[in-house]
Amino acid sequence: MKIFLPMVLVSIFIFQIMNATLVGSAYIYAPAVLTSVNKGSLTIFYLNVTTGNGNISISGPSSVGSSTLQSAEEGAAYACSYLGLNKSDYNFYYTISDKNVSVSGPSGGLAFTLDAISALSHKPLLHDFTLTGTINLDGTVGPIGGIYDKVAAAKQHGLVFMLVPHVENGSMQDLIYYLAQQTFNIPLVEVANVSQAMQFATGASSPTWLNYSIYSNYYVNELPYANLTCENCYLGSFQNLTSFTFNFTNNTIENIPNNYYGAKSVFEKDMSEYASIAQKGYLYTAADFSFLLFPQAFMLEHSSNVTNASASSLISNVSSFCSSLVPPQLTNTNYEYVIGGELRQEFGSITAGNAATMLNESETSDGILESIYTAGEAYGWCLAAQDMYSIASNMSGRPVISSGLEPYASELINSASKYGSNLYSQSALNFYNEGNYPAAIYSATYAKIFGNSVMPNYNASQYLAIESKLIGNSTYGIWPNQFAKSSQFYMQEYYITKNLSDLQAAYSLALLASNLSSANKLISNSFVYANASTSSLQCTGISSQVTELSNQVQQIYSILFVMVIILFAILVILLVYLIKLPCQTVQKIAENKNIIKKASNKRR
């Protein structure tokens, strides 16, 4: 206030000279981020409103970006609309306390708006809080970035709460809100519109702490036991994989620091429910839920030192771990686990690369946190790959190589390409270029189904009928079996919730199950048993050479086989001819003798 009052007095004097009448004044704390150093700073938005003609100006910084000026104009316009006033009757003179810096970005929109409402209505604002958020013409508050650094600045200046835009529960931004709140011990209050923000800004409502909760009730007690059977399934091995996924997620949850106790307890509750789902036989569904929880726990576990250096080291370690994995020899019994592991290792490697790119491009600590989360996703993929390789190594079977799959893999990749590039299509192309056609077929199948975001316009009865038919075609192999069971899981959820999105999830999974069942038949029928010299070869790195060599050898064998048959036929013909020739000669001589004898008898 010591700074504010002299500025008001000076402004009044200036307005009197300009023949304008001061209508009201206000100020509010607004955070900003110095992107060059990933550091938050706290500024003050001052506002003097006078009679005028609708003019809006911003002074203070060395330069003001067009997006900032536009947000001030929208804030003033909505404030007048909110109060039922005509904006053209007033001038708005904003002053930002940051001097000798460039200010840009629309995240001050909510602050500009509340300043204008306070100045026009003479409702004083509290000065123990800060806020951030864009403003829309309808008064809704839009998303922003740099929240971690902004909360850090609020903490440094002793403010007691902060208003932030409302975001989707369980989203990345929601997780960053919770992490920043708990790290700096300042309640973050989500507001969806200006009316809600004014309640807290004027003290009409008291701030409450944000809770991070992604718990969902899946009605496990009403869930029937999964009873689908399949050919060539190794259910015990998949139970091992589910348990392994549970273990690495539970261990990470256990390592979450105590200041995130609220989220930690919710995660533990989630895992308990997932265990119940697994007990009902929906192993993939339970493992998938656990897997999706893992990067969130991973981000909280590694949130104590949010710096570029620490995040870079973490991402590098994850990338090295992914690169260190080596798949076992492919056999006629373990191929689903080898291919499944190869997919996840490739997913992990690509995702780790994405995390590194994200970190290099980050301008705020939010970006660093997102790169840590993405590194967690990559680590989860590669942990799953590691266990699948372990399972595959312990399964019996004869070493095999695949043959003749290239045309189908190429066709499938081209079919999936119309849905754009994604993790699955990128992996499929990588596998194809390496000559690993079984893995390329699997990845392209994922890309074809999950890359298409447009769901068929079916009603509930149609979805249920089609899904039941697809599930009936998903009998060959453990992955089709588990995806089909997961489809049944969502169908059961629909019977309780009547939510069409559950049926759409069931449809995608049933389609995936059916397609993978067909792919398994194709892949297993392509196997050629490897001899002793090839059984020691690893599937990756040299799979292209092995497949190509196998194709060439088969072609040579086929040509030689045809040539041998032809030569043998020629030999048989020659032998027959040679055998017949003496016989014909003897017969001819005998005939000649008979002729001579008959002639002699006649002469006698």
Q: What is the pLDDT of residues 86-107, one digit of tens each?
A: 999 999 999 999 876 788 889 9
Decide if 207 contacts 175 (C-beta within 8 A): no
Q: Is the pLDDT of residue 68 over 50?
A: yes
Q: Is the pLDDT of residue 1 over 70?
A: no
**Residue 400 has what DSSP assignment?**
E
User: CA–CA separation, 175 vs 296, rounded Å?
Assistant: 8
In the three-class reduction of DSSP (H, G, I as helix; E, B as strand; rest coil), residue 503 is classed as helix
In the three-class reduction of DSSP (H, G, I as helix; E, B as strand; rest coil), residue 439 is classed as helix
Q: Mean per-residue pLDDT for 173-201?
A: 97
* pLDDT attached to residue 9: 44
- Higher pLDDT: 548 or 89? It is 89
Least confident of 142-146, 462-466, 479-483, 565-569: 565-569
Return the ∠ at Cα 138 (arms to 209 and 363), rounded to 5°. 55
Beta-bridge mates of residue 175: none
* pLDDT attached to residue 231: 87
DSSP element (H, E) containing 472: helix 460-472
Percent of the chain residues past pLDDT 70, beyond the cut:
84
User: CA–CA separation, 64 vs 100, rounded Å?
Assistant: 11
Q: Which two structure tokens, joined as six digits, stand for 231?
A: 């050919």
Q: What is the pLDDT of residues 219-257, one digit of tens each?
A: 899 999 998 988 888 889 999 999 999 999 999 999 999
Confidence of residue 529 (pLDDT cuts 50, 70, 90): very high
User: CA–CA separation, 115 vs 74, rounded Å?
Assistant: 12
Confidence of residue 595 (pLDDT cuts 50, 70, 90): very low
Closest alpha carbon to 401 in 289, 222, 552, 506? 552
In the three-class reduction of DSSP (H, G, I as helix; E, B as strand; rest coil), residue 100 is classed as coil
User: CA–CA separation, 119 vs 171, rounded Å?
Assistant: 35
Q: Mean per-residue pLDDT for 216-221?
A: 87
* pLDDT attached to residue 482: 97
User: CA–CA separation, 221 vs 200, rounded Å?
Assistant: 42
**Residue 160 amino acid letter:** V
* pLDDT attached to residue 34: 78
Phi, psi (5° rounding) for residue 63?
-150, 150
Count other Cβ atoms within 10 Å, centred on residue 567: 10
Q: Mean per-residue pLDDT for 268-273?
A: 96
Closest alpha carbon to 489 in 278, 270, 261? 278
In the three-class reduction of DSSP (H, G, I as helix; E, B as strand; rest coil), residue 217 is classed as coil
* pLDDT attached to residue 293: 97
Percent of the chain residues past pLDDT 90, beyond the cut:
77
* pLDDT attached to residue 564: 54
Q: Would you give the end-to-end CA distance of the chain in angstroms?
A: 162
Beta-bridge mates of residue 529: 400
Q: Is the pLDDT of residue 13 over 70?
A: no
Q: What is the pLDDT of residues 373-409, one digit of tens each?
A: 999 999 999 999 999 999 999 998 999 999 999 999 9
Beta-bridge mates of residue 93: 48, 57
Closest alpha carbon to 216 in 299, 273, 264? 273
Q: Which residue has the tokens 């994922």?
A: 446
Beta-bridge mates of residue 64: 103
In the three-class reduction of DSSP (H, G, I as helix; E, B as strand; rest coil), residue 64 is classed as strand
**Residue 53 has what DSSP assignment?**
S
Q: What is the pLDDT of residues 433-452, one digit of tens each?
A: 999 999 999 999 999 999 99
Confidence of residue 542 (pLDDT cuts 50, 70, 90): very low
Q: Across all residues in the chain, what is the average pLDDT? A: 88
Helices (H), 436-542: 437-450, 460-472, 478-497, 500-525
Please state the separation of Cα 514 from the chain's center in Å.
Answer: 23
* pLDDT attached to residue 464: 97
* pLDDT attached to residue 16: 47
Least confident of 139-153, 237-251, 560-574: 560-574
CB neighbours of 413 closer than 8 A, spacing ≥ 6?
A: 425, 428, 429, 432, 440, 444, 447
Return the ∠ at Cα 203 (arms to 200 and 206), rounded to 5°. 65
SS (H, E, C) 216-251: CCCCHHHCCCCCCCCECCCHHHHHHHHHHHHHHHHH
- Higher pLDDT: 47 or 5? It is 47
Q: Which two structure tokens, joined as six digits, stand for 240?
A: 């091992």
Q: Is the pLDDT of residue 516 over 60?
A: yes
Closest alpha carbon to 413 in 436, 397, 395? 436
In the three-class reduction of DSSP (H, G, I as helix; E, B as strand; rest coil), residue 231 is classed as strand
Q: Mean per-residue pLDDT for 152-168?
A: 96
Q: Which two structure tokens, joined as six digits, stand for 374?
A: 């993405």
Least confident of 42-51, 163-172, 549-558: 549-558
* pLDDT attached to residue 480: 97
User: CA–CA separation, 339 vs 76, rounded Å?
Assistant: 59
